[in-house]
Amino acid sequence: MDRIAVLKNPIQEYAWGSKTAIQTLLGLPAPSEKPAAELWLGAHPKAPSEVMIEGEWQSLEKIIERDPVSVLGKGVAKRFSNKLPFLFKVLAADRPLSIQVHPNLEEAREGFKRENRLGISLDASERNYKDANHKPETLCAITPFEGLKGFRTPEAIISLLDRVSVSTLSHELSRLRNESDGSGLKHFFTSLMSLDQAHRERVVDEAIRGAERYVNEDRSFYWMVELNREYPGDIGALSPLIFNLVELAPGEAIYIPAGELHAYLKGVGMELMANSDNVLRGGLTQKNVDVPELLKIVNFSPEPVGKVELSGGLPGEKIYTTPADEFQLSVISVANGDPFISEKDRGVEIMICMEGEARIKDSGHNEPVSLTTGNSVIIPSSVGWYQIDGRARFYKAAV
């Protein structure tokens, strides 16, 4: 593959998605009959993007398999075993996603091997590990975005639960009051996740009645009531008091490492992650919840919410800096008379135009590719440098 190519990307129609956001971005009729939750840009085996080659749409996964070095670049191909190491998504949440956590690389490899050995089908509802890869991820808000990320401190959890007067949790909270560290937090959360149904329903009912008094004062209590409306009686309704509530303005981003419990609540964002679909869920879902496996991989250290810092890249580019090896997210803005010019020595990149119109031209071909809002392209390593002219804003995924 030796030229920039337009991508055709699959849409995931999960129930929590939006009937307008991705559809409007792509110029499709909106509102749609079914919700569009995620637009996938990449080469994941579950749903690879397609590229027009020799007059037909072909799987990006297969194209990379045939010629990994020209697409990925020699260094990326060697480091990541001839695979595209990232998966790029537009995520549109009109309803809350499940409380979830992603495994580290060792846990993913072992879990994938174990479930294969047990003969669990890849599409079975009880399957936890869909592949052998870890899934660190970053999310950048396109619209105002809310989510939950990592544990609050034990002191904060106790204070918030005391405000809603959850006497039915007095036993479970007692150790947390006396042991306000990671082990106390682990014991408390394990106890919470292990409540029998009758006890769980009493706890949730009492907590929601308490939270209703504060819905106009604190978004944490607002979200408790909303989560219980979506998933009545689910212990996950308490999660806004247990996890940090994150509010992102457009352009702000967070990074989710392996082992960190999180849940996206509402908004549209660009999500970039290692090329994996491994998710272990802990509530707020009709899908499989495997509590013992979840507890094995969760990091119980309370962490403050830190937003990803923006650093300078090339002129016209800002980079979201994270510790991940597999991916790098950046935003590129071009204005008339002020083009973006890439580096000459670069690996594979995928870009999506989020607003405006532009033309992208590589060093080896005179004919530019025209792009408008919702269009996306893959820029193989083999094309060398490229230039973007016009007036537009792009999000770019690179290694």
**Together in a domain, 153 and 199:** yes
Pull the structure tokens for residue 159: 């204070």
- Residue 170 inside a domain? The answer is yes
* Residue 262 annotated as lining a ligand binding site: yes
CATH number at residue 366: 2.60.120.10
Residues 6+ apart with CB under 8 A from 128: 111, 115, 278, 279, 280, 288, 290, 293
Of 255, 276, 308, the residue that ends a domain is 308
Of 308, 327, 358, the residue that ends a domain is 308
Task: Please state, for a pLDDT cut of 70, what percent of the chain lies above it.
Answer: 100
**Together in a domain, 295 and 163:** yes
* Residue 365 annotated as lining a ligand binding site: no
Pull the structure tokens for residue 59: 């799987």
Pull the structure tokens for residue 392: 């537009």
Is 346 a residue of the active site?
Answer: no
> CA 243 to CA 148: how far, in whole Å?
6
- Residue 8 inside a domain? The answer is no
Pull the structure tokens for residue 144: 């105002």
Do 278 and 131 touch, CB atoms closer than 8 A? yes
Question: 291 pairs with which residues across the strands?
Answer: none
Unique residue bearing structure tokens 């089908």: 121
**Together in a domain, 139 and 270:** yes
Domain of 381 in residue numbering reads as 310-398
Q: What is the pLDDT of residue 288?
A: 80
* Residue 199 annotated as lining a ligand binding site: no
**Together in a domain, 345 and 200:** no
Of 262, 293, 308, the residue that ends a domain is 308
> CA 184 to CA 373: how far, in whole Å?
49
* Most distant pair of Cα atoms in the chain: their distance: 72
Give the tens place of pLDDT for each residue, 153-182: 999 999 999 999 888 888 888 888 888 767
Do 165 and 315 touch, CB atoms closer than 8 A? no
Q: How confident is the model at residue 2 (pLDDT cuts 50, 70, 90)?
A: confident
Do 295 and 111 touch, CB atoms closer than 8 A? no
- Residue 56 inside a domain? The answer is no
**Together in a domain, 116 and 140:** yes
- Residue 295 inside a domain? The answer is yes
Better-scored residue on pLDDT, 135 or 374: 374
CA distances from 2 to 48, 62, 96, 396 (A): 20, 15, 41, 19
Q: Which amino acid is at 171?
A: H
| Alpha helix segments (H runs only) across 139-181 | 154-163, 170-178
- Residue 265 inside a domain? The answer is yes
Mean pLDDT for the stretch of residues 18-30: 96
Give the tens place of pLDDT for each residue, 252-283: 999 999 999 999 999 999 999 998 888 898 88
> CA 382 to CA 304: how far, in whole Å?
42
DSSP per-residue string spanning 24-81? HHHT--SS-SS-B-EEEES--TTS--EEEETTEEEEHHHHHHH-HHHHH-HHHHHHTT
Do 362 and 100 touch, CB atoms closer than 8 A? no
> CA 67 to CA 21: how far, in whole Å?
35
Phi-psi category of 397—alpha, beta or left, where left has phi over 0 and alpha has psi -120 to 50? beta
Give this prediction's pTM: 0.91
Give the tens place of pLDDT for each residue, 329-380: 999 999 988 899 999 889 999 999 999 999 999 887 778 999 999 999 999 9
- Residue 214 inside a domain? The answer is yes
**Together in a domain, 208 and 287:** yes
Q: Which helix (H) or strand (E) holds 201?
A: helix 197-211
| Alpha helix segments (H runs only) across 67-127 | 68-72, 74-79, 105-117
Catalytic residue, candidates 95, 152, 281, 346: 281
**Together in a domain, 378 and 298:** no
> CA 114 to CA 292: how far, in whole Å?
15
